[in-house]
Structure 1
Amino acid sequence: MGALDGVVVADFGRVLAAPYATMMLADLGAEVVKVEHPRGDETRAWGPPHARGEATYFLSVNRNKRSRVLDLATAEGRAAARELALGADVLVENFRPGTMRRFGLDYETLSKEHARLVYCSVTGFGSGRGADLPGYDLLVQAVGGLMSVTGAAEPTKVGVALVDVLTGMHAAVGVLAALRHRDATGEGQAVEVDLLSVLLSSMVNQSAGYTLAGAVPGLLGNRHPSIAPYEVFPTADRPVVLAVGNDRQFARLREALGLPADERFATNELRVAHVDALAESLTGRLRTRPAAHWFALLTPLGVPCGPVNDLAGAFELAESLGLRPTADVDGLALVSNPIRMSATPPTYRLPPPALGGATGSG
């Protein structure tokens, strides 16, 4: 039994942010009906790579769902969509603001007949003055400031659509909170999250540095603005990360590396002020041995250290730690839901659906 057993979700989401949110709800037991245009979700065509003839991008965020093909440009499709929405507990959509209203599927219209409906909208820049701006992850990484602190020689995007994923997580949290409120009061509500606001919130210390102290950081490369050493270092073979968060850890690091005491590095504040000299001192010693040596030496001492893995190495590490990073879903090795629950854990009941394969079309 899942925590959300009995909850029906009408999923009008496409691409990544909204489908990620609905997959989280589906993993926790909700019944999710994914509404797709006859052409299918855009990510069905976003390959390579592919598995079983389907783009792995689509497969990554659509398990535990059933697909229903509805053409909202037709009266028949809109009528079927309305019926689905009125029978659901939750509706999730990420069309451009105003689109669902044109179809008669907006919150104001549906809530008049279905007061218990929890209606979640995912937008790029809100439903006000930013409604007409296209909500693409790369665009938001750029205008939202993330690229301004990422990279060394030039602004660089994160290697995955991280803002979409974070927005999907926030959407799922909002839906769960709204369901809790509905259980207590009998009243549904509208939930809205937008990519820009989520990014500004998710930049945490960087955002707070600006709002509270007026600090505008530049490109940081692999360094931290407030902690040192906290970056990537070369070794005799491959790069290694040191993430030294306090003076005790640094003392252990210095002793393990056989470095002399240096007043410039006595405290974290001083190490940040002399970060270039610190990096030069550490690099000279770290280059003498391979990454595996330093990982084996420093980890037992409580010094955060690790090699820079590729994805194969990352999954191998998770397996070695007993974290079970993949789940077999009808023969597909999909990435496991990271939430662990003692009574109602995530379940994997359905593989990502074929287009309209389970519930027909309209």
Structure 2
Amino acid sequence: MKALGHIRVLDLSRVLAGPWCAQNLADLGADVIKIERPGAGDDTRAWGPPYAPDAAGAPTTEAAYYLSANRGKRSVTVDIASPAGQALLRELVLHCDVVLENFKVGHLARYGLDYASLRALKPDLVYCSITGFGQDGPYAGRAGYDFLVQGMGGLMSVTGERDDLPGGGPQKAGVALTDLMTGMYATVAILAALTHRDRTGEGQHIDMSLLDTQVAMLANVGSSYLASGKRPRRWGNAHASIVPYQTFACLDGHLIVAAGNDGQYRKFVEAGGRPELAHDARFATNPLRVQNRDALVPLLAEMVLEKRRDEWIALLEEQGVPCGPINELDEVFANEQVRARGMEIALPHPAAGKVKLVRSPMKLSATPATSDMAPPLLGQHTDEVLREVLGKNGEEIAALRARNVV
């Protein structure tokens, strides 16, 4: 039993936000049909190196970026710009529950593949559009990219080192957080719309915007601004409201200490042999430590520098003080907890033999998310889908190929 084993998704999206959403649905059991341009495919197929190696260690043409967001799908190549290709997609829609797309606003209306056109064919269709700025408003026609929206939506204003310290200034996140979070919100919205459809028989249009998502995911930072009217500062690896809650240099690397209350702070300085810092009136409570951070943090930095990272971690874990290392990726995938949770998987792949991928973190007891099908080769399932879903025979498929429709 798969949670979404009864759902079929026509995925017209590419790059990251849309494919990430579709991959979530595939992990939960949906049959995701990924529509790609003949001969080229998803833009991310060309976003390399690195590429997945084959059994001999030589690189294939399968870009790691593409592999990260497309497992569990079936790839079908269709020339969406041709009338015959558009007609073929409309046929497929009749057999699908969800359409997912991230074209510019109004683009698909030219092809009769917009929500209004497809709703006329299938009234219970759930149709999700992902764009940079949404379907309306003065920016609706603009192209939106994760990096751009991280800046416009405020994330970069609170990410990076303090302006008064070396290296200070705005900084983007190390992964495309806005794209990924938009894909996650889109997944939730699609599941809600499917539940509504199952209860009422009514489909609907979902309008997802990268900018909306970025503004929403400011969370407490956005709420703090609305409450105070004050622009938040960048704090680098420190915290605006908690001290100490930051990184410190050790003898052999860096340590994260997240002392979220006064008791944890006391245990931290006592473990470091500096109990007087727990009794200093300037540092007795968290509000006082925040107020006097410029006096306290250099003293803590001096203390932490006296021991090695693993020595600190052992000491603080024994005392119940939240702490941890800053792992490189080889350390992440070698970590005993990550390995115990099975977060690295290897799936059979027609070109690479096997590809290593990251498992879905969604762990459901009755209907577990499964990752048993590698990201497809370009057009790998075209004939299969045309036969199984649309009932086309060999001659009909050959005719479509001869006309370069698929």
TM-score of Structure 1 vs Structure 2, range by shorter chain:
over 0.9
Is 2:360–2:371's contact at 8 Å kept on the other side of the alignment? no
Question: SS at the partner of 1:112?
Answer: helix
Give the 5 Å matches for 1:68-217. 68-128=76-136, 129-152=138-161, 153-217=168-232
1:141 alignment partner, SS class:
helix
* Alpha-carbon shift at residue 316 of structure 1 (Å): 1.7
Give the 3-state SS of the residue equivalent to 2:103 in structure 1. Answer: coil
Q: Secondary structure at the match of 2:192?
A: helix
Question: 2:300 maps to which residue?
Answer: 282
Determine the structure 1 residue equivalent to 2:34: 34
2:90 is equivalent to residue 67 of structure 1: no
TM-aligned CA deviation for residue 188 of structure 1: 1.0
Q: Equivalent residue of 1:313, what SS? A: helix
SS at 1:241 equivalent: strand
Q: CA RMSD in A?
A: 1.2
For the structure 1 residues 56 and 318, does the alpha-carbon distance in structure 2 shift closer, same or farther, using more than 3 Å as the test?
A: farther
Specify whether residues 320 and 202 from structure 1 end up closer, same or farther in structure 2 by C-alpha distance, changes over 3 A only.
closer
Cα–Cα, structure 1 residues 320 and 35, in superposed 2: closer, same or farther, change >3 Å? closer
Calculate the TM-score normalised by the size of structure 2. 0.87
Q: Distance in 1 between matches of 2:75 and 2:141?
A: 28
Aligned counterpart in structure 1 of residue 245 of structure 2, from 213, 227, 230: 230
Q: Which of the residues 218, 221, 232 maps onto 2:233?
A: 218
Answering whether residue 353 of structure 2 is matched by residue 353 of structure 1, we say no
Does 1:322 find its partner at 2:340?
Answer: yes
| Alpha-carbon distance, 1:182 to partner | 0.8
Assess, with a 3 A threshold, how the Cα gap between structure 1 residues 112 and 320 changes in structure 2: closer, same or farther. Answer: closer
8 Å contact from structure 2 (residues 332, 338) kept in 1: no
Supply the distance in 1 between the matched residues of 2:280 and 2:84 (Cα, whole angstroms).
76
Aligned partners of 1:131, 1:342: CA distance in 2, in Å?
A: 41
Give the superposition deviation at 1:318. 5.1
| Cα distance in 2 for residues equivalent to 1:70 and 1:319 | 43
Distance 1:136 1:354 in 2: 26
Quick check: 1:318–1:325 contact (8 Å CA) kept in 2? no
User: Any unmatched runs of 5+ in structure 2?
Assistant: 53-59, 162-167, 349-353, 384-404
Q: d(CA) in 1 for partners of 2:187 and 2:16?
A: 13
Equivalent residues of 2:126, 2:193 under 8 A apart: yes
2: CA distance, partners of 1:103 / 1:210: 43
1:241 aligns with 2:259: no
**What is the distance in 2 between the residues matched to 1:106 and 1:139?**
26
Assess if the C-alpha contact under 8 Å between 1:327 and 1:333 holds in 2: yes
**SS of alignment partner, residue 184 of structure 1:** helix
Deviation at 1:36, TM superposition (A): 0.7
Q: What letter corresponds to residue 148 of structure 1 in structure 2?
A: S
- Tell me the distance in 1 between the aligned counterparts of 2:28 and 2:272: 47
Structure showing greater Rg: 2
Alignment match, 1:22:
22
Which amino acid letter does the alignment assign opposite residue 47 of structure 1? G
Aligned length: 362
Stretch deviating more after TM superposition (271-280 or 168-177): 271-280
Counterpart Cα distance in 2 of 1:305 and 1:325: 22
Percent identical among aligned pairs is 47
Letter in 1 for 2:30: A
Q: Give the aligned partner of residue 334 of structure 1.
A: 357
Per the alignment, in what secondary structure is the counterpart of residue 96 of structure 2? Answer: coil
Note if contact 1:319-1:325 (Cα within 8 Å) is conserved in structure 2: no
1:188-233, Cα deviation, whole Å (9 max, x unpaired):
1111211111111111011101112212112211111111111111
SS in 1 for 2:32: strand
CA 1:319–1:332 in structure 2 vs 1: closer, same or farther (change >3 Å)?
Answer: farther
Instruction: State the alpha-carbon separation in 1 of the partners of residues 248 and 205 from structure 2.
Output: 47
User: Judging changes above 3 Å, is the alpha-carbon distance between structure 1 residues 281 and 321 closer, same or farther for their aligned structure 2 residues?
Assistant: farther
2:313–2:323 Cα contact (<8 Å) kept: yes
C-alpha contact (below 8 Å) 2:18/2:100 kept by paired residues: yes
Deviations 1:159-212 (A, max 9, x none): 111110000000000000001111111111111211111111111011101112
With the length of structure 1 as denominator, give the TM-score of the two structures. 0.97
